[in-house]
Structure 1
């Protein structure tokens, strides 16, 4: 009987390091960010505070036109690890790590060389909206882009496996993409169209197993779809940001929207494009005179990008959206570095340009660490420091000294979410929550920014059957960490019972 070789843990680690150095860099990078940002953060910013306000409330949908996947994951993590900043950061950076890893393994399953897959993965750090904005503030955009990356990986695996299990996971991954961010639908449709356009993949997608993918997908998204139909006011709460047919100018708004799409697509991938062109120019002497034909996997990646942008172009044309922000393009363009890496890999004899691409991507990622720390601790938005650095601990101590409360009500999630860091049992309520008034339980703290009476909070209070006179309103001045001379006024009322 032949001897069975058993690797020791140290040998396995060495093997992993030697075979997947780029992947190891990504995993260590995001693990470091979890602990580093938890250590230096004083409180949550706007998007993370919204998550803190929803953690623990597993629902089919939420307010603010946002899909539920990211909040579901935070809720599950919060039930295990507690409601704290560490949990919020662990979810965000864990999802970003899985995004990068999905791109790498998806590329390998499509038959792309290891060097191309590594460059396409680490090259994502050259996309500022992912490398910077996703780490700094975004939440649902992270969920949507990560869901699309999972769909890309599941798609590549199904093309290779062609099993019933891979078909089921493909349907689930597509559902994750859509439930992560609704604009992920452009990528998901593009992925299907790109697959159908390639004969070798078409036969897989048109097989009986695709019926299972469709069934799993429909089963996963239907509850949220029904919820959205029943809560259209919440679903459409932020559609004004698209500025559809702004000013009644049907043609002008569409032209402006298409221009913003073109401009922001270039800006989104601009850093990666610059370094790609530099690598292309520097390697002109090593270019293959007659590059090989495009592999099916390379064709798929190129066509996904083309079809996704084409879908957005048509969407702008139909809707009349005059605004297309660069961060909205994350789910459509996150594969850009992988495509650029594939072009370098097929046209240049040496792997050196790809290695340089990896190094530049890694440097871009490393630059973000101190930049993000400075932004969190010291940066100012206009005249105000980061809202996450406000002294929420003092607000909690002062309001608790004035009276007990189980619900915190405000016009936005910033104050309820951050107060929850000091008492996980707090029931947060804010305007964008569906059926917000029904969630108000007494005793309750009604709190808002500013010294003047807040009409939104007063309306929530009135709808809950409570009337407060100006004399009952108390005010506190909160300072910012590292900016003690800068303060914000916060007003509040504690209502013991109706």
Structure 2
């Protein structure tokens, strides 16, 4: 690309930087409470480990490092996520710039990511590990395409770093580099790039990055994979043919759910001129088609031979994130004129850029009118502030990680334990008073100290269950007198 054309596309990245800055502001304005993945990050930031459970540790390591310097806060959580997302879009745009000549199509490919619901909405709403997968996939894909087009030691290194980060983000990422390798090997013109000695740099970089976790995984394979396998293979008592049918059906629905809106947007803005593009081919469209084919074949094999019955659309991020770029490559290969379509495309993007932050805020703030409450409406901080007037806890035992992470955000300096993660075992000797807190989603039911908490106290501290109480706290954006109920108890409270 010339310097002029480089300047011409910089506005894309300025626009995206402003958009993700807006998303940070909206998240901070919406609620101080944390959702599931955010709470997990806050809770697990109390210790550094080579592995934490069913999700690889890349995002945990990154968030731990930021918390170490900036403190545990919603600001740190939001900034990390949106910097990762912005960097992913930047890498995607740079990749598009490598293989597209039309700068309007570069813009449409990059901004086209905003038309994918999983990318534009779900990643902002709560997801963390999937955000890490998207970042890693964008980094690897940039290094991979750069190695094919303008190979250098640096390009092979970038690809290796992307693979390393990706394998530390989610295990299903492994299908992406495998699909890229197979797709390149089947093209005689690209095959020499795979048999290049610099590929060793890719392999070494990936191995060095993943090595600490691989040692952990060797001894914790069941712990790391059991939950994911349980989700994927949950087919009840279905017969084998029914399980395969369920798996194939869920894959089809997930694919449509992931890419359907993007295809629809491109169909609307290009109209009838999109039809010739469906059959147009180029070196790059064929490469991406082979990659997607290998990727989807790998998932089908998992369905047929691995017993997978439920494929979720977010699991397709490591491959189908290339759909907007693929469509733009097809359009360019067909020689379609893009100026009118681009003018129709940008208002759609503007609506998305305004509508998504508004929807994220509105889904929580509208509770004052609808009485429908999300997790972000729960008043964790207000509850803890009230309990602190009774005593200042020296440690907290929470009923689950969602609650533990929320309490951790406002309890810096004291250990916060969770009943659903027994692996965190700080020394509680001399730490009194100990505050026990649990959620009571339905008032009037199971308000006593949960049996597992009573057993934990007996097993770890050798004490009997203390007297429990309940507290009703008004919702964030609550309607009228609506409140959320928490159960709590003190151990060795000093009066």
Q: Do they fold alike, i.e. is TM over 0.5?
A: yes
Cα deviation, 1:455-485, whole Å, max 9, x if unaligned, reads 3333333332243335x22221122112152
Alignment of 1:73-92 (within 5 A): 73-92=62-81
CA contact (8 A) 2:379 2:475 kept: yes
Distance 1:325 1:422 in 2: 33
Offset at residue 345 of structure 1 (A): 2.2
C-alpha deviation, 1:228, in angstroms: 2.2
> Contact between 2:401 and 2:421, CA under 8 Å: does it hold in 1?
no
Question: Could you tell me which residue of structure 2 aligns to residue 478 of structure 1?
Answer: 473
After superposition, the Cα gap between the structure-2 partners of 1:455 and 1:102, relative to the gap in structure 1 and judged at 3 Å, is farther
> How many Å separate the matches in 1 of 2:123 and 2:395?
30
Given that 2:244 and 2:303 are in contact with CA atoms closer than 8 Å, whether structure 1 keeps it comes out as yes
Where does residue 107 of structure 1 map in the other structure? 96
2:196 alignment partner in structure 1:
207
Q: Which residue of 2 aligns with 1:418?
A: 406
Deviations 1:207-231 (A, max 9, x none): 1111121122122212212212323
Distance verdict in 2 for CA 1:137–1:192, change over 3 Å: same
CA contact (8 A) 1:344 1:354 kept: no
User: 103-112 or 472-481, which moves further after superposition?
Assistant: 103-112
1:418-457 → structure 2 map (5 Å cutoff): 418-433=406-421, 435-437=423-425, 442-443=431-432, 444-450=434-440, 451-457=447-453
Look up the match of 1:331.
Answer: 318
Structure 1: which 5+ runs fail to align? 1-11
Q: Give the whole-Å Cα distance in 1 for the aligned partners of 2:278 and 2:129.
A: 45
Cα deviation, residue 400, structure 1: 2.3
8 Å contact from structure 1 (residues 103, 149) kept in 2: yes
Counterpart residue number, 1:19: 9
Contact 1:379 1:385 in 2 (8 A): yes
Q: Are 1:378 and 2:374 matched, yes or no?
A: no
1:4-35 alpha-carbon deviations (Å, 9 max, x no partner) = xxxxxxxx9x9987432222211110011112
Check 1:290–1:32 CA distance in 2 against 1; reply closer, same or farther (3 A cut).
closer
Deviation at 1:109, TM superposition (A): 2.4
Alignment partner, residue 29 of structure 1: 19
- Give the structure 1 partner of residue 265 of structure 2: 275
Is the 1:42–1:390 contact (alpha carbons within 8 Å) kept by the matching residues of 2? Answer: no
Match of 1:97 in 2: 86
Using the TM superposition, name which of 413-422 and 263-272 deviates more: 413-422
Query: 2:389 matched to 1:401?
Result: yes
User: How far apart, CA to CA, are the structure 1 residues paired with 2:274 and 2:410?
Assistant: 59
Structure 1 284/170 Cα, relative in aligned 2: closer, same or farther at 3 Å? closer
Question: What secondary structure is seen at the aligned counterpart in 2 of 1:238?
Answer: helix
CA shift, 1:44, in A, is: 0.8
More moved, 168-177 vs 440-449: 440-449
Native 8 Å contact 1:124 1:361 kept in 2: no
Q: Tell me which of 360, 365, 369 is aligned to 2:357.
A: 369
SS for the counterpart of 2:482 is strand
The structure 2 residue matched to 1:491, chosen from 460, 476, 487, is 487
For 2:72 and 2:355, locate their aligned partners in 1 and report how far apart those are by CA, in whole Å.
30
Is the Cα–Cα contact under 8 Å of residues 119 and 355 in structure 1 kept in the other structure?
no
* CA distance in structure 2 between the aligned counterparts of 1:357 and 1:493, rounded to whole angstroms: 57
**1:385 counterpart SS class:** coil
Structure 2 counterpart SS, 1:247? coil
Following TM superposition, by how much is the alpha carbon of 1:84 offset from its aligned partner in structure 2, in angstroms? 0.7
Q: Pick from 157, 165, 184: which aligns with 1:168? A: 157
SS in structure 2 of the partner of residue 408 of structure 1: strand
d(CA) in 2 for partners of 1:341 and 1:15? 17
Equivalent of residue 50 in structure 2, options 54, 60, 65: 60
**Distance change >3 Å, CA 355–CA 198, structure 1 → 2:** farther
How far is the alpha carbon of 1:438 from its aligned partner?
A: 5.0
Residue pair 1:35, 1:86 contacting (<8 A) in 2 also = no
Alpha-carbon shift at residue 427 of structure 1 (Å): 1.9
Q: Give the structure 1 partner of residue 444 of structure 2.
A: none
1:96 Cα deviation (Å)?
1.3
Matching residue of 1:314 = 301
C-alpha contact 1:52 1:418 (8 A) present in aligned 2? yes
Q: Which residue among 34, 39, 42 is the counterpart of 1:44?
A: 34
- For the residue of structure 1 that corresponds to 2:457, the secondary structure is helix
CA contact (8 A) 2:139 2:158 kept: no
Q: 2:472 aligns to what SS in structure 1?
A: strand
Counterpart residue number, 2:289:
302
How big is the shift at 1:102? Answer: 1.4
* Partner in structure 2 of residue 461 of structure 1: 457
Q: Distance in 1 between matches of 2:422 and 2:450?
A: 20
